[in-house]
Amino acid sequence: MNVLKVGLHNRLLKEIGDLADRAGLRVYVVGGYVRDELLGKAVKDIDIVVVGNGVEFAKTVARAWGKANLVVYEKFGTAMLLLDDHKIEFVGARAESYSRKSRKPAVKEASLEEDLSRRDFTINSIAASLRGKDFGNIVDPFDGRKDLRKGVIRTPLEPEKTFDDDPLRIIRAMRFASQLSFDVEPSVLKAARKMAPRLEIVSQERISDEFLKIMGSTKPSVGLQLMFDAGVMKIVFPDVFALAGVEQRKEYHHKDVFLHTMKVVDNVAEKSESLWLRFAALLHDIAKPKTKAFKEDVGWTFHGHEEAGARMVKPIFRRMKFPMEHVPFVEKLVRLHLRPMALVDDLVTDSAVRRLMFEAGDEIDDLMILCRADITSKNPKMVEQVRRNYENVARKMKEVEEKDHLRHWQPPVKGEEIMKVCGIEPGRAVGRLKQRITDAVLDGVIPNDHDAALKYLLEIKDEILSTMSEIREKHAE
């Protein structure tokens, strides 16, 4: 195909082409837009390259469209226009490092071919003309379309040169391989392995951005495994790297914790688009290396790895600059990931089921997805057995839920009422009394209703308040 069919954005791009004709400029759409159109994927962001001054042309377009929201990055020679939910970026063709965010922005003017040669991969180095007389004509000096057909990530120049311009491209190669299910050409991988230490100079935000895109891809293990093999994981995510080589009993899982984790992440990705559930999968065994111990009769054990792992989530998110608002969710899932397994026993009480449902709250369905994904045994009989066990757990939960409606449950007596009834001020005693009521409901000692809880509060309050004041007095002595 020598002409790009631009489908949805035809009108917009034609208008840009008309304005370019009037200004006597050669203007092209390039990069991700062309790549995704050729792959038949939905595209939103539009990258425009101008042979000449990109910022000036962007101003011409903004004026013609009556738009006042043009953002100009003088230093980088780029400009961005937001139009509905499209982001249109303009840049002048340049001869040096392409990346706008890399440490060495360069704005030396150049030909289109030179510009394309300084981009990251051949599949991103395809341009399509927007001029009236050859609208849609494709310029593809590095055979990017062939690589798109073959499913290969290749650099337009020598890989080391391309990576030297911007080392983040090492991870971008793995990200595109993961998103598109492409292979990375061996020479590119070789250069990635050699140059991985250069990632030290790349900002954490840019690295994390690419990492999140790998986690969001259909089969995240493709990118994660490439990162591991090329020595990138060791540098950018040492905690995940440390899972490799940690042996475990293999009845339920893979022997190696890293390989097991890869499978769990992929299993979750098959069932859910949620990025943070995928992160919970990535981190569910993160504390296994530090909790590992050998017991004579049992083999390798990892006591407390779920709690220790939950505590590692926050520092990891902080260091990796992942959005902190997702920490509580990931922590909760890591902390609880073994609990449903404990409910498998036929003799398990309603109270144990209630407790887990209360603790998991709205996250119970995600927790069950994670637990099911956690079974990576190669023994089909074992897999079948555990699946059946989880069906049982899910059935028990459904029964308890139908009886007790615990999903959005709050203890039936609130803190304010406790203070009023007991004549006490806010403080630890209120929390203690509330906890006792919660326990009583979850353990089935009292029914889940307000009157029963109030009656129970009146029964226990004196004993609890007096023990607490005794403790206080002892401390005061």
Give the footprint of ligand CTP on this chain (CB under 6 A): 31-32, 45, 47, 98-99, 119-120, 124, 166, 168-169, 172
Cβ distance 281 to 258 under 8 Å? Answer: no
Distance CA 366, CA 368 (A): 5
**Whose CB is nearest to ligand CTP?**
32
Distance CA 7, CA 444 (A): 62
Q: Closest distance between ligand CTP and the C-beta of residue 166, in Å?
A: 4
Nearer of residues 163 and 241 to ligand CTP, judged by Cβ: 163
The token pair at 292 is 């590992």
CA 341 to chain centre: 26
**Of the candidates 76, 65, 127, the residue with the CA atom closest to the CA atom of residue 100:** 76
Cβ distance 220 to 228 under 8 Å? Answer: no
Nearer of residues 76 and 390 to ligand CTP, judged by Cβ: 76
Cβ distance 307 to 313 under 8 Å? Answer: no
- Terminal Cα-to-Cα distance of the chain (whole angstroms): 88
Nearer of residues 31 and 340 to ligand CTP, judged by Cβ: 31
Nearer of residues 126 and 373 to ligand CTP, judged by Cβ: 126
The CB density around residue 359, as the number of other CB atoms within 10 Å, is: 15
70-79 long-range contacts, CB within 8 A, separation 24+: 73/100, 75/105, 76/100, 76/105, 76/107, 77/105, 77/107, 78/54, 79/54, 79/55
Nearer of residues 119 and 461 to ligand CTP, judged by Cβ: 119
Distance CA 35, CA 350 (A): 55
Q: Helical H runs in 166-285?
A: 168-180, 186-195, 204-215, 221-229, 232-236, 238-241, 257-271, 275-283
Q: Closest distance between ligand CTP and the C-beta of residue 171, in Å?
A: 10
Nearer of residues 45 and 439 to ligand CTP, judged by Cβ: 45
Nearer of residues 119 and 372 to ligand CTP, judged by Cβ: 119
Nearer of residues 165 and 374 to ligand CTP, judged by Cβ: 165
Q: Closest distance between ligand CTP and the C-beta of residue 150, in Å?
A: 18
Q: Tell me the DSSP string of 88-130.
A: EEEEE-BSS---SSSSS----B--HHHHHHTSS-GGG--EEE-
The token pair at 159 is 């890989």
Nearer of residues 98 and 135 to ligand CTP, judged by Cβ: 98
Q: Closest distance between ligand CTP and the C-beta of residue 364, in Å?
A: 33
Q: Closest distance between ligand CTP and the C-beta of residue 271, in Å?
A: 24
Distance CA 317, CA 324 (A): 6
Q: Closest distance between ligand CTP and the C-beta of residue 102, in Å?
A: 6
Name every residue whose Cβ is closer than 8 Å to that of residue 303 and which is 6 or more positions away in sequence.
291, 293
Q: Closest distance between ligand CTP and the C-beta of residue 148, in Å?
A: 13
Nearer of residues 17 and 167 to ligand CTP, judged by Cβ: 167
Q: Closest distance between ligand CTP and the C-beta of residue 162, in Å?
A: 8
Q: Closest distance between ligand CTP and the C-beta of residue 119, in Å?
A: 4
Nearer of residues 129 and 267 to ligand CTP, judged by Cβ: 129
Q: Closest distance between ligand CTP and the C-beta of residue 165, in Å?
A: 8
Distance CA 31, CA 140 (A): 11
Backbone angles phi, psi at 423, to 5 degrees: 65, 40
Cβ distance 140 to 30 under 8 Å? Answer: no
**Of the candidates 273, 277, 240, 269, the residue with the CA atom closest to the CA atom of residue 257:** 240
Q: Closest distance between ligand CTP and the C-beta of residue 146, in Å?
A: 17
